[in-house]
Amino acid sequence: MHAAMKLGRLRSTSKQLALAPRLKDFLKAPLPAPPAEYHGAAGATIGMFGNDQFGDCTIAGLANYRAIRAKLNGCPPPASTTDAVVAQYMRLTGGQDTGLNEIDVLVQAQKNGMELGGPKWMDAVWASVRYDRSTCKSLIAIFGALYLGVELPLAAQDQAVWTPTKGRNGAPGGWGGHCLLWSGWNDPDKEGNDNDELVTWGMVKEASPLWLPRYGDEFHVIVDADSAAVAGVDFEALVDYANEVNDG
């Protein structure tokens, strides 16, 4: 089912993770409760962006995040293209298909923007989030998605719905590291389940609510000024801290 797809997410270093801005440090008020269901990728122009041929998932993830954010804000679909996404990936890797770590990508995006097709992106800042299901859902409903690093098990190659399994095939990282987006979830009262919706390889992939706690390795949110006001984030303080870390 997915075995032929490429991965390409490298783990951020312990130093990067320690210095990363933590969203909770910049929240001025409790987050609003999440809705019973949310489908951030519905109607967004998500795409593969070369991740079936190259390990450019970290850059493809940003292109899909941009599409979800545009839909959320009622803007025209962005002009992202596969050629532009792959070219941006190759610029950051020095022309080799080696993969990238997410914090390196987010720092470069904030400092220099990303050439994904059309205007450079992103005009925003990023922060890391500790996994807590309610908190993550609240953030997704405000910002459209979370940018995740996951350690895929071998079982993920063949499952229609990603579900934790035991044994060798269920071991985190057995297949490798991957970047994707968490963009929504089902209402269990309506659907009979509360599966999460993950954007990867140009599609929305369902995962059991038990899957991310086991295989999720990094959780990041991309914060723009308007949505920061809705979330109660001290945007200026977050930008100042991120710039300090980026320049360090």
Tell me the pLDDT tens digit for each residue of 147-178.
999 999 999 999 999 999 999 999 999 999 99
For residue 247, what pLDDT is reported? 67
Going from N- to C-terminal start, the domains of the chain cover: 9-246
Residue 116 has pLDDT above 70, yes or no: yes
Give the torsion sign (CA, 121, 216, 31, 238).
negative
Decide yes or no: CATH 3.50.50.60 for domain 9-246.
no
> What is the residue-averaged pLDDT of the chain?
93
Residue 50 has pLDDT above 80, yes or no: yes
Residue 57 has pLDDT above 70, yes or no: yes
Confidence of residue 222 (pLDDT cuts 50, 70, 90): very high
Single-letter amino acid, residue 13: T
Other CB atoms within a 10 A radius of the CB of residue 1 amount to 9
- pLDDT tens column, 123-147: 679 999 999 999 999 999 999 999 9
